Structure 1
Amino acid sequence: MTSRHSQKGFTLIEVMISLALGLIISAAIIQIMVSNSVTERLNRAVASTQESGRYIIARMRDELLQVGLYDRLNPNLSDAVDVVEEESFVRNHPVPIPGDFAARLELGAAQGADGANDILVISLQSDRDCRGYKLGYGADEEFYVVNEYFVSGTSLKCRGFDGRFLRNQKVAVGHNAHSAFTLLDDVLSFQVSYGTTDTTINGTQALPTQYIDASGLEGAYNAGKQVVSIRVAIVVKGEGEIQLDSAAQFKLLGEDVITAPDKGLYKAFETTVTLRNMKNFARGRT
């Protein structure tokens, strides 16, 4: 006896419905994957800007806190020059300006035009410059250090000098070739302003009465004012190919508005550092 088994399959409508559902599910999965990728890139860019900004602000604060430091009674201070006269020079030139140094007349704090990057130069007593170099001094010796911070291309850099070399008191030794070290890449803007005090007004407080840019430092010094605080603002770019809806704009420390060159993720960081050494010196002059 022969038995017949009926065979059944999917109808065309069922196949089309299945394909449509599959396409919808696939599209949703792809969208989720794309969204996750964008989110991951954004998170990486945000994290990199935060890391870069916090690092450079912390470093700048540590170094700026020492501006104007000079202790001629320190046994480690090299006494190859008149330290009393040198102390007076450092105290009265905590932020050097062009013309202060005979060996390098152009060296000094400078204001960038129309929102361009500023140049920061500081004086202090230390055992090494901002690059970590001893500049020919002994392992424990301290000396007059001049550090310069500036932007080249998109990199924030520093270079250090022996202040005694700059003042024509000794020849250059060690790493006085003055090559610059990179502190941070992907920098869009570096701006600096200076809080000055007039001891005849503030008495023993030595608080800043106004903030000026580098172009006003010479006039402030000539008027008997002192720099007692420094504000630093910097804009850094995050890693990755993030594309925002529009290019970011920033207005730092009263400067002209700057616009990012692309639609990447940029973030501004700012800090104000009180120069304790200069505040104490200003109080002593009252």
Structure 2
Amino acid sequence: MKKSQTGFTLIELMISLTLGLLISASVIQIMISNNATEGLNRALASAQENGRFIISRLRSELLMVGRYDMLSPDLNDDVDLVVEAAFVDNTPVALPGDFSNDLAKGSLEGATGTSDTLVVAFQGSEDCRGNTFGYDADEEFVVVNEYFIDGTSLKCKGFDGRVLRGQKIAVGNDANKAYTLLDDVYSFQVLYGITEPTATTDNTARPVQYVAADQISAAKTAGSQVVAIRIALLIKADSNMMLGTSSSFKLLDAEAITPTDKHLYKQFETTITLRNSKNTVRSRNI
């Protein structure tokens, strides 16, 4: 006896094809979603890594601001150290007009929508680029570092403070050559923590107010001193990851910023206590 053979009906084939297409579409969607998630994670990791690096770098350098030790055996003594100590103690954050050989050099409040410029002074053996300006190895002098945004890069320049003050002629190292600390920095904002005016007889040397660079001069006239620096940066992730919408960011006292593209951006902020300046302020009240 011959057995009849039967196959799939047309309806069964159509159902199978439909189910196969649905399953394939689901798998493809999961793969696309995983790729997008992976790209987002890479972008976040990139921004986070760059942010941690620059915050750590700036913190380690700015902790030295206001330092001056006349008793240090490494300090070069070719100038009047008492006068120089008074300058560094009173000018941890430099302003335009503080340096006779470069009256424009100093911390600046950026115009609306632009970044700030930070200029600081301290006793050290090299500037932010590792330059020694002709001094012997490990020999210390007054270092002046300038931090600013050039295009989309956070850069620094270093100077011999004695040259800026007209006490010596520049030796070696091109002070006008900027060193790039980090690329893809969209904004760099700075505020300065100042103490109470001397009239209050407050000797705690704690920051009671944070002001912009253009307010420091008036504060110093009243007897206040800068004892802390607050920094905020907006960093673009090193990735081609694009978001659906652009976010707005509010950095310190600056107006809200909305990047023109839809890349991933991340905001970083830190406050650095200038322990050397705090000790100087406290010593005045002993």
Whether TM-score is above 0.5 comes out as yes
Task: Show the counterpart of 2:223.
Answer: 224
User: CA separation in 1, counterparts of 2:16 and 2:214?
Assistant: 73
User: CA separation in 2, counterparts of 1:172 and 1:15?
Assistant: 87
Give yes or no for the alignment of 1:279 onto 2:278: yes
Contact 1:199–1:282 (CA under 8 A) maintained in structure 2: no
Cα drift, residue 254 of structure 1: 2.3
Task: Show the counterpart of 1:80.
Answer: 78
Give yes or no for the alignment of 1:204 onto 2:203: yes
The amino acid of 1:40's aligned partner reads E
Q: 1:180 aligns with which of 159, 178, 181?
A: 178
Post-superposition Cα deviations, 1:17-67, rounded to whole Å, max 9, x if no partner, equal 222122111111110110000000110111111111111111111111111
Post-superposition Cα deviations, 1:162-221, rounded to whole Å, max 9, x if no partner, equal 111111111212213421111111111110011111244253211122111001112122
After superposition, where does 1:255-274 map in structure 2 within 5 Å? 255-274=254-273
SS of equivalent to 1:263: coil
Task: Show the counterpart of 1:252.
Answer: 251
Cα drift, residue 129 of structure 1: 0.3
Please provide the CA RMSD for this pair. 1.6
SS of equivalent to 2:94: coil
Change (3 A) 1:237 1:202: farther
Task: Show the counterpart of 2:157.
Answer: 159
User: CA separation in 1, counterparts of 2:136 and 2:248?
Assistant: 48
Give yes or no for the alignment of 1:105 onto 2:112: no
The amino acid of 1:282's aligned partner reads V
Contact 1:199–1:283 (CA under 8 A) maintained in structure 2: no
Cα drift, residue 224 of structure 1: 2.4
The amino acid of 1:237's aligned partner reads K
Cα drift, residue 222 of structure 1: 2.3
SS of equivalent to 1:108: coil
User: CA separation in 1, counterparts of 2:181 and 2:78?
Assistant: 31
How many residues align? The count is 284
User: CA separation in 2, counterparts of 1:181 and 1:167?
Assistant: 23
User: CA separation in 1, counterparts of 2:172 and 2:5?
Assistant: 93
Change (3 A) 1:276 1:185: same
The amino acid of 1:272's aligned partner reads T
SS of equivalent to 2:112: helix
Cα drift, residue 8 of structure 1: 4.4
Post-superposition Cα deviations, 1:252-284, rounded to whole Å, max 9, x if no partner, equal 212211112222221111111111111111112
Task: Show the counterpart of 1:39.
Answer: 37
The amino acid of 1:231's aligned partner reads R
User: CA separation in 2, counterparts of 1:52 and 1:260?
Assistant: 18
The amino acid of 2:116's aligned partner reads D
User: CA separation in 1, counterparts of 2:85 and 2:232?
Assistant: 29
Q: 1:63 aligns with which of 49, 61, 64?
A: 61
Cα drift, residue 7 of structure 1: 5.2
User: CA separation in 1, counterparts of 2:130 and 2:69?
Assistant: 20
Gaps (5+ residues) in structure 2? none
Cα drift, residue 6 of structure 1: 5.3
Contact 1:199–1:206 (CA under 8 A) maintained in structure 2: no
Give yes or no for the alignment of 1:118 onto 2:147: no
User: CA separation in 1, counterparts of 2:138 and 2:262?
Assistant: 49
Task: Show the counterpart of 2:13.
Answer: 15
Contact 2:157–2:175 (CA under 8 A) maintained in structure 1: no
User: CA separation in 2, counterparts of 1:34 and 1:212?
Assistant: 48
User: CA separation in 1, counterparts of 2:55 and 2:167?
Assistant: 34
Task: Show the counterpart of 1:149.
Answer: 147
SS of equivalent to 2:35: helix
Cα drift, residue 136 of structure 1: 1.1
Q: TM-score, normalised by structure 1?
A: 0.94
Task: Show the counterpart of 2:48.
Answer: 50
- More off after superposition, 165-174 vs 147-156: 165-174
User: CA separation in 2, counterparts of 1:12 and 1:202?
Assistant: 95
SS of equivalent to 1:133: coil
- More off after superposition, 244-253 vs 158-167: 244-253
Q: TM-score, normalised by structure 2?
A: 0.94
User: CA separation in 1, counterparts of 2:200 and 2:251?
Assistant: 28
